[in-house]
C-alpha cells in the first residue's frame, strides 16, 4: 500500500496563476482533508470531506476550492495564486471522520 | 475559538531520560486525542491515539488523558537522539459537518547524546 500520495512534490507559481494539487489514498478511507503548514502557525485545516460526495470548509478556506472526485481522490485548487499561499500543503485521510488521520508527504508551494 | 495549546520549546533532555510533553485543549466535548511526530521537512506521523481517561502505553511511549482538566500528555521513556523532532498534539473537535482535527503548534524536542 502506498498510503496517501500527493502530486506534485514541489511547485513554483507566479501570482495569478492557477494550479491543482492532487491527493489519492489507497486505504479505502471515507474522510479526506487538506491542511497547510506555515512557520509559527502550525497545521491549519483548509477543507475536508467527511465522506464521498461531501465537502466542507475548514479554518482557512479563502482562495481555495476542492473536489472529492471519488472515494480515493481529493484535489485542492488555487484559482488565482497569491504570495500568501506560499506554504507546505498536506493531504490526510481517515477511515472515519473522528478517527486517526494519516498524512501524505506534502507539496511545497512557492508563489512569487 | 477552539484551541489546542503546547509549549513550543525547545525541550532538551539527555539521552536515556524521560521526555514529558504537554497539551491543553479548550473544547470539553472532544473525544479523540492524538500525538504526531514530525521530523524537519517531513510529514506528520501518528504515534499515539487515546480516547478515554488514563494512560495508554505503546513501547517507549505513554499517552495520558485527563478530560476533567482538559489535558493530554506524552511521555517518551529512554529518549534517543532519533526522537529529536517536533511533537504535535491534535484534538478532534466538532466542525461544520462532522469533526476536524485541531492541532497545537508543536513542541520541539532535542535529545542530546
Task: Specify the pLDDT at position B1.
Answer: 64
Q: Kind of pairing, strands A4-7 and A56-57?
A: unpaired
Q: Which residues of chain A fall short of a pLDDT of 70?
A: none
Query: A24 forms bridges with which residues in the sheet?
Result: A5, A73
Residues in chain A: 112
Residue in B with minimal Cα distance to A107: B43
Interface A-B, measured as beta-carbon pairs within 8 A, has a size of 59
Q: B19 — contact with chain A (CB < 8 Å)? A: no
Going by C-beta distance under 8 Å and a sequence separation of 6 or more, which residues neighbour residue B86? B37, B38, B39, B40, B106, B107, B108, B109
- pLDDT tens, residue by residue, A2-25: 899 999 999 999 999 999 999 999
Calculate the average pLDDT of chain B: 94
Alpha-carbon gap: B41 to the closest alpha carbon of chain A (Å): 9
User: Is A47 exposed, middle or buried (CB count within 10 Å of its CB: 0-12, 13-18, 19+)?
Assistant: buried
Task: Specify the pLDDT at position A36.
Answer: 98
Q: B86 — contact with chain A (CB < 8 Å)? A: no
**Which among B100, B105, B107, B108 is the top mutation candidate for probing chain A, defined by the most A β-carbons within 10 Å of its own β-carbon?**
B100
- pLDDT tens, residue by residue, B40-50: 999 999 999 99
Residue B87 CA to residue B69 CA, distance in Å, equals 21
Q: Chain A neighbours among B 51-70 (CB < 8 Å)?
A: none
Mean pLDDT, range B82-111, rounded to an integer: 92
Task: Specify the pLDDT at position B41.
Answer: 95
Task: Specify the pLDDT at position A78.
Answer: 97
Contacts with A99 from chain B: Cβ below 8 Å: 32
Contacts with B96 from chain A: Cβ below 8 Å: 56-57
Q: Of B26, B28, B13, which Cα lies nearest the Cα of B87?
A: B13
Amino acid at each position: 500500500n502506498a498510503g496517501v500520495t500527493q502530486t506534485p512534490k514541489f511547485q513554483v507559481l507566479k501570482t495569478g496563476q492557477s494550479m491543482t494539487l492532487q491527493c489519492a489514498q489507497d486505504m479505502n478511507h471515507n474522510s479526506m482533508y487538506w491542511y497547510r503548514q506555515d512557520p509559527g502557525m502550525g497545521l491549519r485545516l483548509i477543507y475536508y470531506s467527511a465522506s464521498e460526495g461531501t465537502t466542507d470548509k475548514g479554518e482557512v478556506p479563502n482562495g481555495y476550492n476542492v473536489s472529492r472526485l471519488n472515494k480515493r481522490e481529493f484535489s485542492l485548487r488555487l484559482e488565482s495564486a497569491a504570495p500568501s499561499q506560499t506554504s507546505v500543503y498536506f493531504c490526510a485521510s481517515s477511515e472515519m471522520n473522528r478517527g486517526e488521520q494519516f498524512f501524505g508527504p506534502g507539496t511545497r508551494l512557492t508563489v512569487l | 475559538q477552539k484551541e489546542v495549546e503546547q509549549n513550543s520549546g525547545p525541550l532538551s533532555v539527555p539521552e536515556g531520560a524521560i521526555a514529558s510533553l504537554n497539551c491543553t485543549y479548550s473544547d470539553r466535548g472532544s473525544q479523540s486525542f492524538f500525538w504526531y511526530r514530525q521530523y524537519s521537512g517531513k510529514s506528520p506521523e501518528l504515534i499515539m491515539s487515546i480516547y478515554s481517561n488514563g494512560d495508554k502505553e505503546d513501547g517507549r511511549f505513554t499517552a495520558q488523558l485527563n478530560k476533567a482538566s482538559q489535558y493530554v500528555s506524552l511521555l517518551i521513556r529512554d529518549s534517543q537522539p532519533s526522537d529529536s523532532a517536533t511533537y504535535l498534539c491534535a484534538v478532534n473537535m466538532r466542525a461544520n459537518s462532522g469533526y476536524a482535527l485541531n492541532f497545537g503548534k508543536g513542541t520541539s524536542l532535542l535529545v542530546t547524546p
